[in-house]
Amino acid sequence: MDLSFSENQLLYVDTVRRLVKNEISPRILEMEKEHGFPWAIITKAWEMGLVNLCIPESIKGFDVDVFSSALIIQELSYGDTGIATSAMCNDLANVVISRHGTDRQKERFLRPFVEKPLLASFCLTEPGAGSDNFMMTSFIAPRDDGSWVLNGSKCFITNASYASQFTVLCKIGKPSASFMACVVVPAESVIAADLPDVGYSTREIQLSTGGRILIGKPEDKLGQRLSNTASVTFEDVILAPDQIIGNRRFGFKYIMDVLDFARPMVAAIGLGLAKRALDVTMAYTRERKQFGQRICDLPVARDTLVAMWKKVELAELSLWKACWKIQKNDKDAGIFASLAKNTCAEAALFCANEGLHLHGGYGFTADYEISKLARDAHIIDIYEGVREVQNMIIGREIV
């Protein structure tokens, strides 16, 4: 496994770091307090080619490999994990089209994202179906004219308030069915000029083909406040047969494909946060003095800093091994994707919490970035599969 980066990868890193340094870091606490949607930054990231990483060369004109994708997301997350989550969600929604769609479907459903800075949503989780996907009740039913009708509700959907397209996992025929399908529901294209900020408003989308989509009020979250999250309800949405991706009975397989792709990317988000937490804590403990010396020179504090550094380095190694396995299409790539997700989430939580502790009382105030990082870190341990689910996957495979 070669851990050296190519010239292109180093160029990606430099590009994202400039975006973070110039557009995110100087205003991050102010932006979070405003709680507005960061359209300007996402649009700029799109202009730089840092969004829609999974779209194939046949549509986009160039490919971004797994390592480069993880690098981009890690560096963007160093600035803010909420922004990175919203940007990455396009790939979460579109990777199943990229991998399993026909050439015609790729052209229809992916081309718009290359032409405009649009957002997509991946609609999997439901109020009664979190880790257990078989409990979902959203479903498509056939109609006499050969079309299908979609009904159901999803929750905790990233980008929902601003999405121009929805990738939806659902049952076939009835809510209690065993088989699942993956369908794509395009809506009217929305960019920053069309819908700059919904605030805490709901949104209703009337589809020209029939039916409507109801977007709930954005969630008021503990962390990642620069990422939009809302519920989505599909009411009598009419679908043409070509809006079903791949084999309509292979939806569960497609879920696994998406999550195996997403977990290293979520791991990269965790790693970016862990690195940021370590850096801001190092800077603070070098500056702040107690008992006549810098905090970083106190043995008890230095032990914590060493533990933080070790968590970051081990997490990074687990991420690169997962990317290497995925790029080689190894059969056990899923295990290492789960390992990376857990290891990087653990590093994010540990570094944010211990970093806050080393900031003392100041860390508990909103004036210091470490308090924001501590709030942001918790969702990384939860979304795209909680740690217990990752352990179930690893345990099932190793025994």
Residues labelled catalytic: 384
Q: How many residues does the chain have?
A: 399
Three-class SS of residue 142? strand
Residue 244 amino acid letter:
I
Question: What does the alpha-carbon distance between residue 172 and residue 181 come to, in Å, rounded to a whole number?
Answer: 6
Alpha carbons within 13 angstroms on the beta-carbon side of residue 243 total 23
Nearest to 269 by CA among 14, 105, 70: 70
Written as one letter, the residue type at 210 is G
Name the amino acid, one letter, at 281. T
Tokens of 54: 């999974």
d(C-alpha 378, C-alpha 273), whole Å: 11
Residue 327 pairs with which residues in a beta bridge? none
Number of alpha carbons in the 13 Å side-chain half-sphere of residue 361: 0
Q: For residue 126, what are the contacts with CB-CB under 8 A and spacing of at least 6? A: 135, 136, 137, 138, 152, 153, 154, 155
285 touches 362 (CB < 8 A): no
Task: Using alpha carbons only, give the angle 108, 112, 116 rounded to the nearest 5 degrees.
Answer: 175
* Whole-number Å distance between alpha carbons of 91 and 274: 23
Q: Give, for 144, the enclosing helix (H) or strand (E).
A: none
Q: How many CB atoms lie within 10 A of CB 29?
A: 15
Helices 299-327 and 66-79, interaxial angle, to 10°?
150
Cα 126–chain centre separation: 17
